[in-house]
Structure 1
């Protein structure tokens, strides 16, 4: 995050009534959370896969993944190799997984950052392909300082691998005949640590029109706990009703129907002194009136330190949080009507 800075499928009937899943049946296929299409995809998200990918993404070999560096590019190459192995391709209009972010776009007080890339993977919707759900995370971190690697396992290796696992789950559902009705963009952005540059660039140069973007689910640090919540099964959720009251209800019902984590709304206020609503990549969607939800674990003792390493991640909790985001995205992608923008952005 920018410095400023198993399965408990219960109450399905309530979920279908409150979130519109009762109509999530097309061609005789049940898209509700009690359907085989959902359950098989959901259960394909595993602790083992999250851990395997994170130990690679946040390894010393990636040199802390600073924007535009060899280490970050190497991490990106690994991510793309995984998407290829899943059978998840890129947006046709883009022509590759890469969206180049020019050096001249990323001007900081210390000069320009090196040219870098956002990485985009994409699954086209089966019924409403022009409507888009974005699931985002930044894959950069703060690099190497005085020969010490800042691995960024939680920030934001955890979000990076969560997006990858969610993409694989949706692709497995598609192969089983339950592809998402709306399109889904799996967006890995660069330059977050230096000023949300990658998401800013995407929002100004969108591959898909922002007016067709239903929501952005942004994942930035979901692998640890903070001192205030030590040992608790929780996740901070920020901004989920800022622009759409439906989004918060959908996420809360998805949580009840899965792991029933504590949804902590401590930072869910644009006027909070930590200003977390403005400090990760979701904000570059929110300022264009795209509904967002930001999933976060808090500021812990290893934040932006070389001790943010893969061995310190709480993998069972990372797993639960990832499955929560997947369930929320499943409902957003498959419900009959897109969620409405009925709130007002606070800049």
Structure 2
């Protein structure tokens, strides 16, 4: 996740977030795809396993990837691993893009303060919807980190190796459902963005140059650090959820219902507070969707003692908790992708 360095963000005032249920909340329940007794959902959900998350993370956050700095050879190696993973699952790329790679030019990043960053790439995998293919659910995470400093590798296992492998597992679960004859009704875009640590560049490039119209983008479920716990929640089964009711009165309700049906984690809304000094709503890739009026939910584990340090290593990840959080995002994406009506945007 990006450090809080940009003063301009401090000038943005977050809208207040009411918690009372509205008529649209009731509509959310009525539009439920009723996944609780859905055998295909349950089978796909069980595809998300701690052991598989660990296997992929030990590659993505290995020393071989050299901290995955934007446009670096190590980041490109991580990208190749991810692309091969999708190929092996039989998950293709968006036809309009023509490959898994969306180039993010060096000049684009330099104009936004990206110093001398080389060209880099977003990585996109895609499952087309069976009934509403033009409506797109985005599941995102950044796969870059901060690289090497003074010869020391900053592996970024939690930030955001955990989100990267979570998106990969969610894709595997949706593909398993598709193979079982029940693929998602809406399309799912698995979006791995670059340049987050330097300024949310990859997600900004995507929203400036969307492969699918933003008007057709239903939601962005963004995952940035879900493999650890912070001192405030040590040992708890929890996850921070940020921004889920900023633009839609339905999204928070859908996520909470999905949570109750699955692992029933403690959902912490601390960072939805407009007065919180961390300003986390503005600090990860979902924000580039939110500023374009796309509803978002940001899943996060908090600021822990190894944040942006070379000690953010794979051995410190809680893989069982990582799996539970990943399953929650999958369950939320499943509901949004399969419910009869698209979630509404009714807040500004």
The TM-score bracket by the shorter chain reads over 0.9
Deviation at 1:270, TM superposition (A): 3.9
Matches within 5 A, 1:50-69: 50-69=53-72
Matched, 1:97 2:107: no
Name the SS for the 2:165 alignment partner: helix
Whether the 8 Å contact between 1:2 and 1:195 is mirrored in structure 2 is: yes
Deviation at 1:333, TM superposition (A): 0.1
Whether the 8 Å contact between 2:114 and 2:198 is mirrored in structure 1 is: no
Whether the 8 Å contact between 1:233 and 1:262 is mirrored in structure 2 is: yes
Matched, 1:197 2:201: yes
Q: Aligned residue for 1:70?
A: 73
Q: Aligned residue for 2:281?
A: 277
Q: Aligned residue for 1:322?
A: 326
Mapped to 1, the partners of 2:330 and 2:290 lie a distance apart of 20
Mapped to 1, the partners of 2:326 and 2:284 lie a distance apart of 18
Higher helix share: 2
304-313 vs 109-118, which moves further: 109-118
Name the SS for the 1:63 alignment partner: helix
Deviation at 1:17, TM superposition (A): 8.4
Deviation at 1:32, TM superposition (A): 1.9
Mapped to 1, the partners of 2:26 and 2:157 lie a distance apart of 36
Q: Aligned residue for 1:212?
A: 216
Q: Aligned residue for 2:4?
A: 4
Q: Aligned residue for 1:143?
A: 147
Q: Aligned residue for 2:233?
A: 229
Q: Deviations over 1:275-329 (max 9, x none)?
A: 1000000000000000000000000000000000000000000000000000000
Name the SS for the 1:111 alignment partner: coil
Matched, 1:168 2:178: no
Mapped to 2, the partners of 1:80 and 1:249 lie a distance apart of 34
Q: Aligned residue for 1:19?
A: 29
RMSD: 1.5
Name the SS for the 1:237 alignment partner: strand
Show structure 1 runs of 5+ residues with no match: 6-14, 25-30
Mapped to 2, the partners of 1:151 and 1:181 lie a distance apart of 37
Mapped to 2, the partners of 1:16 and 1:203 lie a distance apart of 31
Q: Aligned residue for 1:341?
A: 345
Mapped to 1, the partners of 2:318 and 2:65 lie a distance apart of 21
Whether the 8 Å contact between 1:238 and 1:269 is mirrored in structure 2 is: no
Q: Aligned residue for 2:36?
A: 33
TM-score by length of 1: 0.92
Residue correspondences, number? 328
Matched, 1:79 2:109: no
TM-score by length of 2: 0.92
Deviation at 1:272, TM superposition (A): 2.0
Q: Aligned residue for 2:13?
A: none
Mapped to 1, the partners of 2:31 and 2:85 lie a distance apart of 31
Mapped to 1, the partners of 2:276 and 2:190 lie a distance apart of 29
Mapped to 2, the partners of 1:137 and 1:111 lie a distance apart of 23
Whether the 8 Å contact between 2:228 and 2:317 is mirrored in structure 1 is: yes
Mapped to 1, the partners of 2:264 and 2:319 lie a distance apart of 17
Q: Deviations over 1:228-281 (max 9, x none)?
A: 000000000000000001000000000011111000000013442111000000
Mapped to 2, the partners of 1:277 and 1:248 lie a distance apart of 15
